[in-house]
Chains A and B, each alone.
Chain A
Amino acid sequence: MLSQESLQQIDREIAKYPPGKKQSAIMSALRVAQQEKGWLPREIIEFVAGYLDVPPIAAWEVASFYGMYDLTYVGRHKITVCTNLPCALSGGVHAAEYLKKKLGIDFNETTPDGNFTLKEGECMGACGDAPVLLHNNHHMCSHMTTEKIDQMLADLEKQ
């Protein structure tokens, strides 16, 4: 179900917690699984649950509770834009609108080529760097002017 490398990463996370507290590693394990698969199909969630001796529904609760897990398919590049008030005061909404126009999709949509998915995110804790967006959950892009957005999209297309 998951690669050896992912399983090793999960094992490293499990080792952080006291014996018998494997469940604590579930968030990391789901993150690792999502990084490998791109999103979290149900059978992967069940696999992770089994790996950590957690009832599948408990894993599902976690996966559905935290906003960064993708329970449906997302494109190769998921771009999450913060539009909360502090970011919005410095162009967060404009950046989102620009991305929508540029990609021809709305929030929660994926481009037909499967390259990009656009999401509206919650506060990323980087309001001073607005506009802020997140690429595939783990890479934060700060001060995203339209030029920088163009550059980023061009770079990602090439990947």
Chain B
Amino acid sequence: MLDIEIDGKAVQVPVGSTVMDAATLAGIYIPHFCYHKKLSIAASCRMCLVQVEKAPKPLPACATPVTNGMKVWTRSKAAVQAQKGVMEFLLINHPLDCPVCDQGGECQLQDLSVGYGGSCARYQEKKRVFVNKNFGPLIASEASRCINCTRCVRFTAEIGGEMELGQAFRGDHAEIMTFLGRAVDSELSGNVIDLCPVGALTSKPFRYSARTWELSRRSSISPHDSLGTNLIVQTKNDVVKRVLPLNNDNLNECWLADRDRFSYEALTSEQRLVSPMMRNGEGWHAESWQIALAHVSSALCAIVSEQGGQALGALASPHSTVEELYLLQKLTRGLGSENIDFRLRRHDFRGDAVRSGIPWLGMTVADVHGLNAILVIGSFLRKDAPLLAQKVRHSALRHGLEVCTVGPNAEDWRMPMATRALVAPSGMVDTLAAIAAALAEKTGKALSDTLAARVPTTVSDDARAIAKSLADGEKTAVWLGNLAEQHPRAAELHLWAQEIARLSGASFGFIGEAANSVGGYFAGAVPREKGLDARAMIESPRHAYLLLGAEPDLDFADGAAAVDAMNRARLVVAISAFDSPVLRQVADVLLPLAPFTETPGTFVNCIGDVQSFEASTHSRGEARPGWKILRVLGNLLELPGFEQDNIEAVRDEALTGNSSCYARLNNAIGDVPVAEPPAARANVFQRVADVPVYFTDPLVRRAASLQKTADAAPPVARMPSATMAALGVQPAASRVRVRGRTGESVELRVEADENLALGCIRIAAAHASTVALGPLHGELSAERL
């Protein structure tokens, strides 16, 4: 520890601290612009100049290391003179457009100029003007306001993983730009808006819509990925205007993924369902809650009494709250059905019978920091879980974490990669077995008896390299991603991941597909014995379906089959925040659901944190919180246990016995028999289906600005150029007809993708144009058009 005195205040700081760190510790604010705790030190804005004993000139607090016995004055005459000098320089070319600037009221330059700026300008020359840039649909640029702090540049390189912004030219011609005026494509791009200390980078969707002082603030939790990102939802006149990060050092730190930041636009989408709707022959009409619920109740009663409880299936989105999922399973079970599930994109449920507890990440997110090696199995990590990927990236860039992957995809994760075993879905189990075999050989530990016989005869170099990374690392982890969870042999992948983890001493777990992928288990929204899982409910169609927050065509493992099953059902009740043509096609009653900003609720994230939130606004139109809809329905059905007065009562009930939720987290799995993959056939390809980051759930699918980004481009058929050659398709803008097992075909544009295993075609799911192809993992045939 070092002793330092700042403004007469003695503090002790660890070796390696800067004067800025010491000041923060002492509770002293030093004005600054370029400094940011999460970015590298630029020391260039010079706003944090302070006086240091024995130093002949003022020194930047952000970059000056503390030495023992150092004396620093941050408010002395010399320090303030230096700070005021810098402020004057910052202002000479800054436009005087605060009244029309979106940053007004939350502008660091504006705030600090009150303290350090002069009351009139000595600069009488012409002000510099820059042309505004187009950074895409999310970030607005007002280039002349820029003070060249380069936070945004450093962010794209250091946090986003690829330098997308740069400071071009030099001297006072220096300006922030992208190459050739391209959009900033990072899925974390919106953070530069928060980082920009002035109004040079503002939010395109938000700008001109409200002043910061007009906004009310509510803390909330992101409903999208499994990280449980903490949010501040800002509203004006009961409308969500903006979403900002709420700092949580254990989860999202001070960052937001663009999905978390901009999905709020869907809340005011024209497709919001704002009234209960009932089918009326071929048409639809709005109905009162009373009548709609009475109808649902009597229709359900009728089917259950005629066909038995098992005629009913309940399917819920994994983005639903714990409370909603809990009441839905209670209602379903109350009606005598065990058919309840929230794992809608899953195919292989064999693990359910042999798992020991609730699957989770297997480690804390904060512990990613100390990992030496990680194996990520079957994941589009960067787009599936942008901020979890950022944690991995940070460790890989700064601390040499060796990142290995197994899967059919090897797209750019914007981080250094150690080994990527590129293997078709059908080969993934064998590859994991090979890694386990290599590990056994390397560590001298024996493979477990049941698995020893299943080890392949040849072990690839990639498998050996991955085994080496895992064996050599002191702290290591194995993660199963969304593609692994959705895999036709998911349970076997799970089993082998467990074996690899055992042999290498790694932790292992699941990244989780959605905000409540762990919470759904806590809520009991999974079938018990004799109950049907999500796949079985579709493959063996039910007479009645209760659909909660999910769209049958887009949120299921096989959207075409789901639509088909529901089309054939006598009754489909969809509780949904949005209206859609497909819902109108399959459903009989649509009940308007309040999305996460309009209801209190709870999500349990991938590490088992139970995070509850309040409603940020009132519900829109006649939409109602899901827990209330389900509770009233329970009452109408005269089911016991639906007497909760408030959401806390539901939450307490749902999480009873979960007082230590963490104790129920357990990834252990028992043996699962081998399910041989179908033999490879000529001209038959394996589908690799990613769920693109802005197609994942009903909310983000309707977020207008996100839908204008590159990540929301309509699906194409990606294939290695060797496959393109074999199919005889020329690279430029050619199209193919792709057919799934069901025989329905779709026409798609072809794109070469060398980061894809041979024998595979990657076609995104969760988009209307590819629903007809059927299952996420399936066989495809393709022909040139």
A65 touches B179 (CB 8 A): no
Binds B, one of A50-58, A85-93, A106-114: A50-58
CB distance from B220 to the nearest CB of A (A): 35
Known: A56-B179, A57-B179, A64-B170. 8 other contacts (CB 8 A): A57-B165, A57-B166, A57-B168, A57-B178, A59-B179, A60-B179, A64-B169, A65-B168
Please state if B168 and A60 are interface contacts (CB–CB under 8 Å).
yes
CA distance A59 to B164 in the complex (A): 11
Residues of A within 8 A of B162 (CB): 55
Closest 9 pairs (CB-CB, A-B): A57-B166, A56-B179, A64-B168, A57-B179, A55-B163, A61-B166, A64-B169, A65-B170, A60-B179
A70 part of interface (Cβ distance < 8 Å): no
Least distance between A68 CB and chain B CB atoms (Å):
13
Specify which chain B residues have a CB less than 8 angstroms from the CB of A64 in the assembled complex: 168-170
- The answer to whether the Cβ of B180 comes within 8 Å of any Cβ in the partner chain is yes
Measured CB to CB, the closest approach of chain B to A23, in angstroms, equals 11
Contacts of B163 in A (CB 8 A): 55, 57-58
CA distance A61 to B168 in the complex (A): 4
**Per-residue interface assignment for chain A, residues 121 to 151, with 1 indicating a CB less than 8 Å from any chain B CB and 0 otherwise:** 0000000000000000000000000000000
Count of residues in A whose CB is under 8 Å from the partner chain: 11
> Could you tell me the distance between the alpha carbons of A64 and B162 in the complex, rounded to whole angstroms?
20
**Does B144 sit within 8 A of A, measured CB to CB?**
no
B134, CB-defined interface residue at 8 Å: no
Complex Cα–Cα for A57 and B162 (A): 10
| Known A-B contacts A42-B180, A57-B179, A60-B179; A65 and B164 likewise in contact (beta carbons under 8 Å) | no
A107 to chain B, nearest CB (A): 16
Write the nearest CB–CB distance from B137 to chain A, whole angstroms.
19
Question: What residue in chain A is nearest B162 (Cβ atoms)?
Answer: A55
Q: Is B167 interfacial (CB-CB < 8 Å)?
A: yes
CA distance A63 to B168 in the complex (A): 8
User: Which residues of B are interface residues toward A (Cβ below 8 A)?
Assistant: 162-170, 177-180
Inter-chain residue pair count (beta carbon < 8 A): 34
Q: Are B180 and A58 in contact (CB under 8 A)?
A: no
Interchain CA distance A65-B169 in the complex, whole Å: 5
- Residue with the greatest number of chain A CB neighbours at <10 A, chosen from B162, B164, B166, B170: B166
Is A120 among interface residues, defined by CB-CB distance under 8 A?
no
Name the residue in B164, B177, B180 with the highest tally of chain A Cβ atoms < 10 Å from its Cβ: B180
Chain B residues, CB < 8 A from A61: 166-168
- CB-defined contacts of B177 to chain A, threshold 8 Å: 57, 60
The residue of chain B having its C-beta at the shortest distance from the C-beta of A43 within the complex is B180
- Interface: A13 (CB within 8 A): no
Distance, CA A56 to CA B166, complexed state (A): 10
Hey, which chain A residues are within 8 Å of B168, CB to CB? Answer: 57, 60-61, 64-65
Q: Inside 8 A of A46's CB, which chain B residues have their CB?
A: 179-180
Chain A, Cβ-Cβ closest to B171: A65
A residues 47-101 with Cβ under 8 Å of B?
A: 55-61, 64-65
List 16 A-B residue pairs with CB atoms under 8 Å apart, sorted by A's residue number.
A42-B179, A42-B180, A55-B162, A55-B163, A55-B164, A55-B179, A56-B179, A56-B180, A57-B166, A57-B178, A60-B166, A60-B168, A60-B179, A64-B169, A64-B170, A65-B169
Q: Which residues of B are found within 8 Å of A42, using beta-carbon distances?
A: 179-180
Please indicate the chain A residues that have their CB under 8 angstroms from the CB of B180 in the complex: 42, 46, 56
A65 to chain B, nearest CB (A): 5
Give Cα A64–Cα B175 distance, bound, in whole angstroms: 10
Please, which residues of chain B bring their CB within 8 A of the CB of A56? 179-180
Interface string of A26-60 (1 = CB under 8 A from B): 00000000000000001000100000000111111
CB distance from B23 to the nearest CB of A (A): 32
**Distance between Cα atoms of A59 and B180 in the complex (Å):** 12
- Min Cβ gap B143→A in Å is 15
Complexed CA–CA distance, A48 and B709 (Å): 27
Q: How far is the CB of A30 from chain B (nearest CB, A)?
A: 14
In the complex, what distance in Å separates the CA atom of A83 from the CA atom of B372? 57
Q: A residues within 8 A CB of B170?
A: 64-65
A55→B170 CA distance, assembly (Å): 19
Smallest CB–CB gap between B427 and chain A, Å? 30
Closest A residue to B180 by beta carbon equals A42
How many angstroms between the C-alpha atoms of A77 and B177 in the bound complex? Answer: 30
CB distance from A101 to the nearest CB of B (A): 29
What CA separation (Å) do A36 and B165 show in the bound complex?
28
User: Closest Cβ of chain B: how far from A155's Cβ, in Å?
Assistant: 34
- Cβ–Cβ < 8 Å partners of A60 in chain B: 166, 168, 177, 179
Bound form: Cα–Cα A6–B353 in Å: 64
